[in-house]
Amino acid sequence: MSLGLALVAVLIVAIAAGGYGYVRAGRLRLSTRLHSLPSYHGAYAALWAAIPALLLIAAWVPIQSSLVDRAVLASPEGQALPSFDMQRDAILTEAHAIADGQLGQGFNAESATIAPRVRTEQTRYALLGGAVALLAAIGGATLALRRNPLQFRARTGVERWVMVVLFSASLIAILTTLGILLSLLFESLRFFRVYPPQDFFFGVHWSPQTAIRADQAGSSGAFGALPLLWGTFFIGAVIAMIVAVPLGLMSAIYLTQYAPAKVRSWLKPILEILAGIPTVVYGYFAALTVAPVVRDFGLSIGITSASSESALAAGSVMGIMIIPFVSSMADDSIAAVPQAMRDGSLAMGATKSETIRKVLLPAALPGVMGGVLLAVSRAIGETMIVVMAAGLAANLTLNPFQSVTTVTTQIVGLLTGEQEFDSPKTLAAFALGLALFAITLLLNLIALHIVRRYREQYE
C-alpha cells in the first residue's frame, strides 16, 4: 500500500514544482518579456516531475509482485511450501489476499503462516520502488527548474510532452490489437500442443466435456470445430441474412427513393432503434417468444425433431437485429451512384422501379455486397442471441428447426463456470476465439476492399 503513498508524494512534488515554476516566471514577467507564459513554465516543471516518476511506479507494480513472490518462496516459510506448482500458487494467492486484508482466513492453512512474510516483503519492495519514484520526481523537478526562465522556451518543452502523450494515446489501438492477437495465439498454441490442429479444424465431433475419471470412455474430450463453424455459418450467414437482406434492402430503397422527406426523417431513426437494443434483450425475446412459436410451427408441419432451441429462432431474431445495419449500408451505396445514371434512365422513360432494379441496384451491387459481408461478420460474432436461443448440441444439420450450436455459444459455455485456467476446455475457447477473430477479420477486409474498389469507379 505504500506505493499509493509514493503516488501521493510524487503528485505533491509535481504540484510544488509546478507552483514554484509558475510563481518564479510570473515575478520575472513583471520586469521583462518572457518567451512563454508563466503557466507554461509551471506546467513544464510539473510534467518533468510527474511523468517519469509515474511511469516508474506503473512499471514497478508488476516487477514488485514477482520480486515479492520470489523473496517469499526463498524465505524459510516459503521453502516449506509444497513443491507442486498449482497448489503453491493457490497458497500464494491466498496469502496475498490475507496480507491485503481482503480475506480473513485462507482455504489452505499454510497461507496464514506465510501471510506476514508476504506483508513484510511487500512493504520492503514498495518502499524501495516508492523511494526510487520519489527521487525521480525530485530529480525531474530540479532538472526542469534549473532552466533559466529568461531564455528557456517552456511552451515548446510542454508541447513536446503533450505530443508524446498524444502519440501514446494513439498507440493504445496498436497495443490492443497486438494484445488480442498475442493472447489468442499464445493460448491457442498451448491448446494445439495438446490437441492436434487438424482434428480441431476438420473434426466433426464436438463434446468438450472432459471425463472425471481417467479410464472413462472418451476421457480426453473431443474438440472437432466443424459442427460449430457450420452452425455459426448457418445461423449468421444463411438464416439471418435471409431475413435481413430483403427487409434491409427494400427498407433502404423505400426510404431513399419513395418515402417523403418527413416520413423518412421519422422512420429512419425508428429503424435505427433496432440496432440500439441490447443483444441480451433480443436473446430473451428469441428464447421466450420466438422459439416456442417456431417449435410449434415445426411440429405442426410434421417435423418431429423440431427443437425449442432451433437455429431458425436464433437466426431470424438475429436477422431482425441486423436489418438497420444492412439498410444503412445499402442506403450509402445507393446514394453513391451518380445522379446522372438515375436521370439518364428516367429520361429514357423507365419507371422508378425499373430505374432502381435495372440501373441503381446493379451499380450499387458491390457496395451492397460489401455491406452484406460486414453484416455477416457482425452476425457471426454476435453472442447473446445464440447463447440464449440456440442450443449447445453440435449438429451438422440443414434442418432449421433443429438445434445447432455456434462458436460464440461454445466460447461462453467453455469459459463460464469454475475451472482451471490451463485445462484444454479453457484453451479450446481461445482457439475458437482465434478462429472467430480470423474469420471476421477476413470478412471485414474483403468487404472493405469491395466497397473501396467500387467507390473508386465513380469518383
Partner 1 sequence: MNKAAPSEPSGRWTDAAMTRRVRRRYAAEAIFRGAGLAAITLSVLFLAFLLWSMASKGVGGFTRYEAQLPIDFAKTDLFLDPAAIRGPDARSAVAGADLSGAISAAAKAAYGPAGTQLFGDAAVDRLTDAILANPNLVGGKTSLWLPVASKIDVAAKGEGSAAAEKIVAGLEQGHALRRTFNAQFLTGADATDPTAVGVWGALKGSVYTILVTILLAFPVGVLAAIYLEEFAPRNRWTDAIEVSINNLAAVPSIIFGLLGLAVFLDVMNLPRSAPLVGGLTLALMTFPVIVIAGRNAIKTVPPSIRDAALGVGASKMQVTFHHVLPLALPGILTGTIIGVARALGETAPLLMIGMRAFVAMPPRGVSDPATVLPVQIFLWSDEVDRGFIEKTSAAIIVLLLFMLLMNGIAIYLRNRFERRW
Identify which of residues 217 and 261 has a Cβ nearer to partner 1 in the complex.
261
Query: At closest approach, how far in Å is the CB of 193 from partner 1?
Result: 17
Identify which of residues 27 and 357 has a Cβ nearer to partner 1 in the complex.
357
Q: Is 350 helix (H, G, I), strand (E, B) or coil?
A: coil
CA distance to 110, 236, 436, per residue, from 91 (Å): 7, 45, 36
Grid coordinates in use for 211? 471425463
Query: At closest approach, how far in Å is the CB of 238 from partner 1?
Result: 18
Identify which of residues 134 and 247 has a Cβ nearer to partner 1 in the complex.
247
Identify which of residues 79 and 421 has a Cβ nearer to partner 1 in the complex.
421
Exposure on the CB side of residue 17, measured as CA atoms within 13 A: 28
Query: At closest approach, how far in Å is the CB of 455 from partner 1?
Result: 15
Identify which of residues 136 and 314 has a Cβ nearer to partner 1 in the complex.
314
Distance CA 272, CA 331 (A): 13
Query: At closest approach, how far in Å is the CB of 173 from partner 1?
Result: 5
Q: Is 402 helix (H, G, I), strand (E, B) or coil?
A: coil
Distance CA 228, CA 316 (A): 18
Identify which of residues 176 and 265 has a Cβ nearer to partner 1 in the complex.
176
Which amino acid makes up residue 351?
A: T
Grid coordinates in use for 422? 490451463
Distance CA 383, CA 452 (A): 29
Count other Cβ atoms within 10 Å, centred on residue 309: 23
Distance CA 410, CA 430 (A): 11
Identify which of residues 49 and 356 has a Cβ nearer to partner 1 in the complex.
356
237 close to 440: Cβ distance less than 8 angstroms? no
Query: At closest approach, how far in Å is the CB of 247 from partner 1?
Result: 5
Cα dihedral sign, 233-235-236-242:
positive
Identify which of residues 14 and 356 has a Cβ nearer to partner 1 in the complex.
356
- The C-alpha angle with vertex 113 and arms to 111 and 119, in degrees rounded to 5, equals 85
Query: At closest approach, how far in Å is the CB of 302 from partner 1?
Result: 27
Query: At closest approach, how far in Å is the CB of 251 from partner 1?
Result: 4
Query: At closest approach, how far in Å is the CB of 356 from partner 1?
Result: 7
